[in-house]
Each structure stands twice: as C-alpha cells, then as structure tokens.
C-alpha cells in the first residue's frame, strides 16, 4: 500500500498541542494520528512539529526506529552545536535516548517519520524509564545536507543519488537524497529488504497519479511495494528516501 499526503492538504489542519514536557507548540499530522497506548505495527505515522522559540524537548527515547528531518529554524541537539544546515537528517534506533533539543530564537520545525505508530516518548528524567528499556543496536546518525537553487535543479540532465546512510544489509537503516531535473523520472527501490520507506519532498515538486506534491509532502511505501516512480515536476525535485531496518 502507498500512503500520500500533500503539504498543501495537511497544513490547514495544523493545531496547537502540549508536549510531554508541558510546552505548547504546533503539530501537523500527515500520515496516521497521535500516538496510541501501545506500538501498532504496520501503521505508519508522519507528522511535523513546529517548536516555539527557546522551547526545550527533554532527553527521551521511543520504542520504535524513527527518522527526523529538521527543515526550519535552529536548535542545539544534545551536546552538539547549533544546527544551522538547511536540512538535517536524524536517525535513532528503538530504545535509544537522544536530546535535549533546544529550539533557537526563531523556533524549530522537524518531521518525525515512523513505519509503525509509537505509544509516545519515554523521558529519561521520569521514574520508571529503566523498566521500559530493551536491547537495541543504539545506532544514532546525524547528517547535514543542502538543497539546490531552482535554476540548477531544473536544468539537471542526470538524476543524482546521494547516500546519506548506507544500507549495507537488511538490518540497517538507509537514507538517500535524490536530485532530479525537470520532468525526470527514477524508480524507487521496491523495499524488499526494508520495513517500509518514506519519500519526503524537500525541493521542487513530485508528481504522482497526476497530482503535484510540493515541499514538505510525504509518501510512505509499505514493505515490498513495487513500481513507484519518482517523477519530477517542471522545476525538478529533490527528495529523501528513508528506509527502515528489518528486525530479526
């Protein structure tokens, strides 16, 4: 099955919510809904968070593997210096702690992308978190990248595939950045060695089934879904393909 949501359709449904640490910020659901009482396998979940200025998200972990893509604003992430790259990709295995995330003066926006629905963050400052820990590879990736100016993107003559996280075996996560010129097409892997994969539009527009998907649009491909063609619009497209590890 293929799930698709255009940012033009999603953003009108943005709403204010209170985070697990008591802060108000904005959330836009793209695929799936809010976390449930337990992990729901095979039910993808994608949403955008827009944090307030100087808001702090306390250190925590999740029960499932997840990608996050930082798109706007700035932040301090854990011990790292301020994230200022136009696009930053973060991956964390299940039961792998990260944070704190401290938004800058202009706030912070980021996607959270999951192949399964998560029951919610487990905060490391709250009692009982150790009882919820389980064995994990504890892989953690942080990759910075940049987007092309429109004229260069549109005039590109060959598709470019940049490996952000190498998927050497099915148990590994993987991430690619695909850059296509105007009206170009490229087949996306059928994902037989993944637990599902996302296509996140970052620049230009993707065309699928006659509909244009502008930046911040999301498509999820179930494991083994074949025949998906990434087709660029008239100015080209740049999109991430995010692949989930298959668990043993």
Closest CA to 64 of 37, 39, 32: 39
d(CA 44, CA 231): 23
Query: What does the pLDDT read at residue 123?
Result: 78
Query: What does the pLDDT read at residue 38?
Result: 67
163 occurs within a structural domain: yes
Q: Which of 113, 129, 144 marks a domain boundary?
A: 144
Q: What is the pTM of this model?
A: 0.93
Query: What does the pLDDT read at residue 75?
Result: 93
Long-range contacts formed by 158-165: CB under 8 A, 24+ apart: 159/184, 159/186, 161/186, 164/89, 164/240, 165/89, 165/91, 165/141
d(CA 163, CA 178): 9
Query: What does the pLDDT read at residue 84?
Result: 73
Give the pLDDT of the chain (248 residues) as one tens digit per residue: 999 999 999 999 999 998 877 889 999 999 987 766 667 788 999 999 999 999 999 898 889 999 999 999 999 998 777 777 789 999 999 999 999 999 999 999 999 999 998 888 887 888 888 887 889 999 999 999 999 999 999 999 999 999 999 998 999 999 999 999 999 999 998 888 899 999 999 999 999 999 999 999 999 999 988 889 999 999 999 999 999 998 75
φ/ψ of 152, rounded to 5, equals -65, -45
Assess contact for 236 and 20: CB atoms under 8 A: no
Q: What share of the chain is helix, strand, coil (3-state, %, to 5)?
A: 5, 50, 45
Question: What is the domain extent for residue 81?
Answer: 2-144
Query: What does the pLDDT read at residue 192?
Result: 82
Q: Which of 144, 167, 193 marks a domain boundary?
A: 144
Assess contact for 138 and 165: CB atoms under 8 A: no
98 occurs within a structural domain: yes
Find tokens 């060695």 and name the residue: 193
Same domain, 79 and 108: yes
φ/ψ of 206, rounded to 5, equals -105, 140
Same domain, 38 and 71: yes
Long-range contacts formed by 16-20: CB under 8 A, 24+ apart: 19/55, 19/57, 20/58, 20/60, 20/120, 20/121, 20/123
Same domain, 7 and 76: yes
Same domain, 161 and 43: no
CATH number at residue 10: 2.60.120.10
248 occurs within a structural domain: no
Q: How far is CA 94 from the centre of its chain?
A: 15
Give SS3 for 45.
Answer: strand
d(CA 18, CA 95): 23
């Amino acid at each position: 099955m293929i799930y698709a949501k255009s940012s033009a359709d999603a953003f009108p449904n943005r709403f204010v919510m209170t985070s697990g640490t008591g802060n108000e910020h904005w959330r836009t659901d793209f695929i799936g809904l809010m976390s449930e009482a337990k992990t729901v396998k095979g039910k993808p979940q994608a949403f955008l968070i827009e944090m307030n200025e100087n808001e702090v998200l306390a250190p925590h972990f999740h029960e499932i593997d997840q990608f996050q893509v930082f798109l706007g604003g700035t932040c301090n992430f854990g011990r790292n210096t301020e994230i200022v790259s136009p696009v930053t990709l973060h991956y964390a295995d299940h039961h792998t702690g990260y944070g704190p995330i401290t938004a800058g003066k202009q706030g912070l926006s980021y996607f959270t992308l999951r192949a399964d629905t998560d029951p919610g963050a487990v905060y490391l400052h709250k009692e009982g978190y150790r009882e919820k820990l389980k064995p994990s590879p504890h892989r953690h990736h942080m990759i910075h990248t940049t987007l092309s100016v429109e004229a260069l993107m549109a005039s590109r003559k060959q598709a470019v595939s940049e490996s952000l996280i190498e998927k050497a075996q099915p148990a590994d996560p993987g991430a690619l950045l695909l850059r296509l010129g105007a009206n170009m097409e490229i087949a996306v892997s059928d994902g037989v060695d993944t637990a599902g994969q996302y296509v996140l539009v970052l620049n230009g527009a993707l065309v699928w089934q006659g509909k244009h998907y502008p930046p911040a649009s999301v498509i999820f491909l179930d494991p083994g879904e074949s025949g998906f063609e990434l087709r660029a619009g008239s100015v080209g497209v740049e999109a991430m393909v995010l692949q989930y590890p298959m668990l043993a």
